[in-house]
Amino acid sequence: MADVVSKTEQFALFIRRISGGSRPAETGELPARARSVQPLARWLSVPVAATLLLTLCSCGSVEAAFRGLAQRIEDLGKSNKTEETAQAPQAAALPKPAVHGKKTESKAEAKPELSQQDLFEYIRGKLLSLSPNDGINDNLEVTYDAPSSTLSIVQPDGRCDIFLNAIDTNNMIWEVRDPSDAYHTRGDILRLTLTASSGKPARVCYDDKNQIDKSIASNRARLLFAQNKANAVPGFTDNMTKAIKKLVVQSGGVAEKKIF
């Protein structure tokens, strides 16, 4: 009987150690084997263990019963560990939730296309503000008639009507000219030459008496600016070229084509 009591106390101590009863433990710190036998240990106490061992003694030795029960608990712990190991790959195989990136901000709305009137106002402003003012090549007034696509420039010696719907934007040329003569020295002129499509007149010029000046070639037209004034405006030639091309195209002229 003393041997039974001793074995019972050892078994109870064994159960308490496995279940973590010998010291407090926070959740998640117990090993898997101990967690697997916690339900069993919760119900086993010293009296219950004694009764269990006394019952087993009738069928065999206490030592054999003790070893058999301990082996059963050990097997239960291994079985639980095997199940946890088998579940790990399954958990890893689960698809990860899709991570959606931040929504990109909507792109800024494209700037509206400039109208014929907008383009004309820009061109007119530059023709007047950058006028040569040499008494001969001055730009005194500039008008635009949309129905006929006619740009009219008034100068000291008359007026020229430029037909933008006949202009070919592939043949625009910038050049600097010296308008000085034997009697007068004048500042350099920055000149933009516009050429009409084949078979079409680019302009019609009138003298100061409003008579057609037939001495002026009609297959090309020119816009005149003071060189020193134009140099003071950053990107002037590029911006003026874009404005003229857009106004010509909107007026029915030939759009630029990349030949080479």
Q: Is the dihedral of CA 135, 137, 138, 141 positive or negative?
A: positive
Q: Residue 147's domain spans which residues?
A: 116-250
Q: Tell me whether residue 98 is exposed, middle or buried, using C-beta atoms within 10 angstroms of its C-beta: 0 to 12, 13 to 18, 19 or more.
A: exposed
**Model confidence over 25-65: pLDDT tens digits?**
444 444 444 454 454 445 444 444 545 444 544 445 555 65
Are 136 and 221 in the same domain? yes
In a domain, 105, yes or no: no
- Whether 83 and 207 have beta carbons less than 8 Å apart is answered as no
Are 185 and 238 in the same domain? yes
Largest CA distance in the chain: 146
Based on the structure, what is the number of domains in the chain? Answer: 2
In a domain, 111, yes or no: no
User: What global pTM score does this model have?
Assistant: 0.59
In a domain, 255, yes or no: no
Average pLDDT of the residues in 84-103: 56
Are 74 and 152 in the same domain? no
In a domain, 104, yes or no: no
Are 125 and 231 in the same domain? yes
**Model confidence over 167-217: pLDDT tens digits?**
999 999 999 999 998 888 999 999 999 999 999 999 999 999 999 999 999
